[in-house]
Chains A and B, each alone.
Chain A
Amino acid sequence: MIKALELTDLVKKYKNFEAVAGLSLTVAEGEIFALVGPNGVGKSTTLKMIATILTPTSGSVKVFGLDASRDAHAVRELISYLPEEAGAYKNLTGREYLEFMAMVFLKDKARALAAAGEGGLLSGLGPRLGDKIKTYSKGMARKLLLARAVMIKPRLAILDEPTTGLDIVNGYEIRKTIKALAAGGMTFVISSHNMGEIEYLSDRIAVINNGRLLACDTPAALKTRFATDDLEEVFIKLTQ
């Protein structure tokens, strides 16, 4: 098994507050791995450390064997990160945004244009790609951002609550896209509060609370362990 991600005793402190308190887990290549937990328990902080934009206080993050602190630049070549409730540049059109981001990540015009073309198809926005992003609905903007995150074909995609606030149709389309890309070999680490979505998407789930890992297994194994058919019940039993 190739380890796409390995967290070892990961700690992040903000002054006196410990947001992440010794988290250890591994994610295999091609897996869809979900990080779940109540609000403010360190999910986003963990994802930001994996995305190299926050530095761990102690412990380590390894992405395909590369240390996210020491080899941050090399790690950034392998990942793509979609922050929670992220926005886009409002005065650019959808197409301009995809082309710009593709250039930023790939630095080669031909490859960037090809990736942006694919991103355009993945977004499903069709002719609206020619409109400025400020005219997009929340769902359209989120689909564009997800397309941006995966169009460059990262080896590890980090998605922080990818479908929050979306309607049923948009949420369904995004989940379908993630499934299809994972089937193609892309690794996903996602966080979400939607347990139905988590159950549908994830190969394995890590439940965390107060920055600590409470359980990590497949949805089926977790349900068996807690003798229930409902993943939400597992979550409540673990976190209360």
Chain B
Amino acid sequence: MNIFFVLLKKEIKELLTRQLLFTIVATLLVFQLIGGLVGSHNKASAARSGIVLLDLDRTALSGRVTKALGGGKAKLTLYAGGGIETALAAPELGAENSFMVIPAGLEGELKAGRPASVEFYSRFKKNASGLGPAMSASRIRRAAQAASAEISAWLLERNAPGLAPAFLMDPAPAREFAVVDGRTAEVSLAQVIGFIQSQTFFFPVAVFFIVILSAQMIMTAVASEKENKTLETLLSSPLDRRLLVMSKLAAASLIAALLSGAYMLGMRSFMAGVTGLGADPSVAVAAAGPALAKLGLMLTTSGYLLVGLSVLFCILCALSIAFILGIMAEDVKSIQAMMTPLMLAYLMPIFIDLSTAHTGLKVLLYAIPFTHAFMAPQNVMMGNYSQVLWGIAYQAAVFAACVTIAARLFSGDALLTMRFRFPGSR
């Protein structure tokens, strides 16, 4: 058997412990369980609460508004027991948070040409958490829009008979077009932004798992070999030291891919449970697919390959840097502290907008090899292929430099004598 595979097998056996397998399975189960619980809680909560309507006007107009609201998504409860104070105090309405009041005299005021108001009350609970308050706000907004449209239609029918109220209220509806790199397609800005954000934010977060997990694993692997002195035995063997480096890099990458796959799978089922949208969160933008494709925003096979290559070099850069940090680590306990600079370097480009950063910051961000992987999907979408290729070339150069440094450290005394201590550490 090739000695590389012997080393790889040993590395995998050392890294893939029962505890790690248990963690993977537990992660999947916990995500699934929490997603399911939160989702069913939200559904039950949505079914339980709706809008309580107090019709104090009791006219044809208020009847019409009530009917329009009844056709909406929210459950409508009619309350005839008194004013808003009574309704808020009514025990049978204790679970309700959204109240709408059609005041007495609404129709009369409008007929007389005087403005009038429909009132909305939202009850906040001290221990409110989760998605409940956000769902209440959304319910109120929809009900207000529906009531306003119905009242406007009623007024228009009275004052401009013979004309369709829908036409009068929105005689020239807006059509939104997006222009990308000279290509134009009819699609809302919100959909384009949503799609680009899904690529530029969720994508780096997904890669983050792989990078951090694999970096942590390789640092632990190197530091524990140093600590246990198993490395000294290997270094005194007639083994090509580059093989030692490469087998550790390969094993950490393989296991990190497995772990991050499990995390992403868990996250998908969690999101599916929470949102109730199904397993694929991109379903929301799927309807805009043809328009996004026309704009060149959907990745082609070659686009995916370029992005994949950029991510691969991003991971390799992280692993080789982590390898060097592992060599410098005093012991396994110091790994967490050693990870901090790597994590900060990774997170910086996620939270700083490159397009608005000043030149110095831009140079710093582009010097971080991970930035190029985050930018790759956006650049491919926008047709900036040369920028992606330059980014990959830069990442490859950083990786080659780091592997050279790691191999040199592995071949010299530094591996046994180098110790990185944090100020104040013993």
B1 to A92, Cβ gap below 8 A? no
A84 to chain B, nearest CB (A): 8
Contacts of A86 in B (CB 8 A): 228-230, 232-233
Q: Which of B6, B14, B416 contacts A89 (CB 8 A)?
A: B14
How many chain A residues touch B (CB < 8 A): the figure is 34
Q: Which residues in A have their C-beta under 8 angstroms from that of B416?
A: 48, 53-54
Contacts of B230 in A (CB 8 A): 86-89
At the interface, yes or no: A51 with Cβ under 8 Å from chain B? yes
Contact B6 A76 (CB under 8 A): no
Find out whether the CB atom of B10 lies under 8 angstroms from the CB atom of A100.
Answer: yes
> A54–B239 Cα gap in the complex (Å)?
16
Given A100-B6, A100-B10, A104-B239, is A87 in contact with B229 using a C-beta cutoff of 8 Å? yes
| Contact in complex: B6, A81 (CB < 8 Å) | no
B229 touching A89 by the CB < 8 A rule? no
A85 to B412, CA, bound (A): 22
Q: Are A104 and B14 in contact (CB-based, < 8 A)?
A: no
Cα A83 to Cα B233 in complex, Å, equals 7
- Whether, in the assembled complex, A111 has its beta carbon less than 8 Å from a beta carbon of chain B, the answer is no
Report chain A residues within 8 Å CB of B1: 103, 109
Q: How many Å lie between the Cα of A88 and that of B231 in the bound state?
A: 10
**A81/B229 contact (C-beta < 8 A), A54-B416, A103-B1 known:** no
Q: What's the dominant secondary structure at chain B's contact region?
A: helix
Query: Which residues on A sit within 8 Å (CB–CB) of B417?
Result: 14, 54
* Centre residue among B1, B17, B228, B238 by max chain A CB count within 10 A: B238
Q: Which of B230, B233, B239, B413 gathers the greatest number of chain A CB atoms within 10 Å? A: B233
B3 CB contact (under 8 Å) in A80, A84, A104? A104
Write the nearest CB–CB distance from B331 to chain A, whole angstroms. Answer: 13
Partner pick for A107 among B3, B10, B17, B229, CB 8 A cutoff: B3
In the complex, chain A residues 1-28 whose Cβ is within 8 Å of any chain B Cβ: 14
> Of B7, B10, B232, B412, which contacts A81 at CB under 8 A?
B232
Residue of A48, A73, A89, A100 with most partner-chain B CB within 10 A: A89
Q: Which of A72-114 contact B (CB under 8 A)?
A: 73, 76-77, 79-92, 96, 100-101, 103-105, 107, 109
Residue B386, interface by CB 8 Å: no
Q: What does the 1/0 interface line of B232-272 toward A look like (CB < 8 Å)?
A: 11111111000000000000000000000000000000000
Which A residues are in CB contact (< 8 Å) with B237? 76, 101, 104-105
Q: Is the CB of B13 within 8 A of A92?
A: yes
Question: Please, how many angstroms separate the alpha-carbon atoms of A148 and B229 in the complex?
Answer: 14
Q: Please, which residues of chain A bring their CB within 8 A of the CB of B412?
A: 55
Nearest Cβ on chain B to A67's Cβ, whole angstroms: 16
Select from chain A the residue with minimum beta-carbon distance to B6. A103
A208 to B237, CA, bound (A): 27
**Residues from chain B with Cβ under 8 Å of A76 in the complex:** 236-239
Q: With a 10 A CB-CB cut-off, give which of B230, B235, B236 has the most chain A CB atoms.
A: B236
The docked-state distance in angstroms from the alpha carbon of A205 to that of B17 is 45
Interface residues in A37-86 by Cβ distance below 8 A to B read 48, 51-55, 73, 76-77, 79-86
Known A-B contacts: A76-B238, A86-B229. Give 4 more (CB < 8 A).
A52-B236, A92-B14, A105-B237, A107-B238
Interchain residue pairs with CB less than 8 A apart (13)? A14-B417, A48-B232, A76-B238, A80-B236, A81-B232, A86-B232, A86-B233, A89-B10, A90-B14, A91-B17, A101-B237, A103-B3, A104-B237
Which 6 residue pairs spanning A and B have beta carbons closest together? A87-B228, A81-B236, A76-B238, A86-B229, A51-B236, A83-B229
